Amino acid sequence: MLDLECNMIMLVGPMKGGIRYHPEVDPDEVNALAQLMTWKSAVADIPYGGAKGGIGCNPGDLSKSELERLTRVFTQKIHDLIGVHTDVPAPDMGTNAQTMAWILDEYSKFHGHSPAVVTGKPIDLGGSLGREAATGRGVVFAAEALLAEHGKAIKGLTFAIQGFGNVGSWAAKLIHERGGKVIAVSDITGAVKNPNGIDIPELLRHKESTGSLKDFQGADSMDANELLVHKCDVLIPCALGGVLHRGNAADVKAKFIIEAANHPTDPEADEILAKKGVVVLPDIYANSGGVTVSYFEWVQNIQGFMWDEQQVNRTLQNYMTRAFHNIKNMCQTHDCNLRMGAFTLGVSRVARATLLRGWEA
């Protein structure tokens, strides 16, 4: 099954979103994810509309050469829909830098060399330095902006992090470097805790060598479900959607939640957390570092010039901090929480662009 969905066509720039290979890809979900990308890009203030694409398949069941053929045939079917100034795909669940390299190669057969047609490419084919860490780094910049607003800093605060993959491990590493105490970490293999702070570089080495968090000497094992309600200052879900729900929200002890995963908090949990006074930094802002650095990759490809990693990280910090203050302004104007403030900011930017183009009904 092939599907590609896009909206906000050419309103402020090309459409942008991930291509997903997953057995449960379906058009309604792809539509919803494309729409979310629209609001996320608008909140980040990058000149993109939202898009998403997917193929219903299980990439784990396919050999590398089957994946390559699938990707090339998919690209042959959509090469007239995607393009540097129309729709710029990126990796998502089940796809990666290699998938983007195949799309780039196949697309270039039809349209000539076009590195900016996809982002999340290997560095050797025009990928951006700093892209791999970008979502986790953006989460940390977002946390810094939120904590500063509350007169706090990462240093000395305690953190619990669910998920130790790309986003969670980068967030943990950068928090550790800034003097934050990561006191609990979980992944699909289990969970560990240490009230004095886990040595994150050591935990990364352990995970790298054993493939698991289990048997890590620098911490005690704990129940993975307990992590979400563990006593800490900041909880960062970096794994799955829907992990905070009516069954556990009342027991959350963190004062701040940074939504690094997509949709970790369901609407009932949101209400319960709000009543408890827990401050929730929403996913459409908190995990936008990845799409923001994808935008930088596209800009570099169009410029034909590669930024150094410091420039990528510094510019990401500027974007994340600016977006936070724009959301806060919305919250003050409309007397609403951060999630409503972020959506109001995104929707109002899209509405303004629509009106300026004269598209009103």
Residue numbering of the annotated binding site: 16, 40, 135, 166, 294
**Is the CB of 79 or the CB of 263 nearer to ligand NAD?**
263
Residue 292 contacts ligand NAD per CB under 6 A: no
In the complex, minimum distance from the CB of residue 321 to ligand NAD, in angstroms, rounded to a whole number: 18
**Nearer Cβ to ligand NAD (104/293):** 293
- Contact region for ligand NAD (CB under 6 A) — 44-52, 246-254, 256-264, 327-335? 256-264
262 scored as a contact of ligand NAD (CB under 6 A): yes
Instruction: Decide: is 287 part of the binding site for ligand NAD (CB under 6 A).
Output: yes
Q: Which stretch binds ligand NAD (CB under 6 A): 98-106, 159-167, 176-184, 197-205?
A: 159-167
Is 166 among the residues that bind ligand NAD (CB under 6 A)? yes
Among 35, 95, 135, 265, binds ligand NAD (CB under 6 A): 135
The answer to the question of residue 5 lying near ligand NAD (CB under 6 A) is no
**For every residue of the chain, which 3-state class applies, written as one string?**
CEEEEECCCCCCCCEEEEEEECCCCCHHHHHHHHHHHHHHHHHHCCCCEEEEEEECCCHHHCCHHHHHHHHHHHHHHHCCCCECCCEEEEECCCCCHHHHHHHHHHHHHHHCCCHHHCCCCCHHHCCCCCCCCHHHHHHHHHHHHHHHHCCCCCCCCEEEEECCCHHHHHHHHHHHHCCCEEEEEEECCEEEECCCCCCHHHHHHHHHHHCCCCCCCCCEEECHHHHHHCCCCEEEECCCCCCECCCCHHHCCCCEEECCCCCCECHHHHHHHHHHCCEEECHHHHCCHHHHHHHHHHHHHHHCCCCCHHHHHHHHHHHHHHHHHHHHHHHHHHCCCHHHHHHHHHHHHHHHHHHHCCCCC
In angstroms, how far is CA 68 from the centroid of its own chain?
25
**Shortest spacing between CB 101 and ligand NAD, in angstroms:** 17
Q: For ligand NAD, give the closer residue by CB, 1 or 188.
A: 188
| Catalytic, out of 52, 121, 173, 193 | 52
One character per residue 187-206, x = contact with ligand NAD (rule: CB under 6 A):
xx------------------
CA distance 268 to 271: 5
Rounded to whole angstroms, the Cα distance separating 300 from 184 reads: 38
Which among 235-243, 267-275, 314-322, 328-336 is the span making contact with ligand NAD, rule CB under 6 A?
235-243
The question of whether 193 is a catalytic residue gets the answer: no
Q: Of these, 23, 27, 122, 165, which contacts ligand NAD (CB under 6 A)?
A: 165
Residue 260 binds to ligand NAD (criterion: CB under 6 A): yes
Q: Residue 104 in contact with residue 125, Cβ under 8 Å?
A: yes
Q: How far apart are CA 330 and CA 78, in angstroms?
A: 38
Q: Does 162 bind ligand NAD (CB under 6 A)?
A: yes
Among 89, 127, 290, 341, binds ligand NAD (CB under 6 A): 290
Is position 86 an interface residue for ligand NAD (rule: CB under 6 A)?
A: no
Instruction: With contacts defined by CB under 6 A, name the span among 42-50, 71-79, 182-190, 344-352 that binds ligand NAD.
Output: 182-190
The site that binds ligand NAD (CB under 6 A) totals a number of residues, namely: 20
Catalytic annotation, residues = 52
What is the binding site for ligand NAD (CB under 6 A)? 135, 162-168, 186-188, 224, 238-240, 260-262, 287, 290
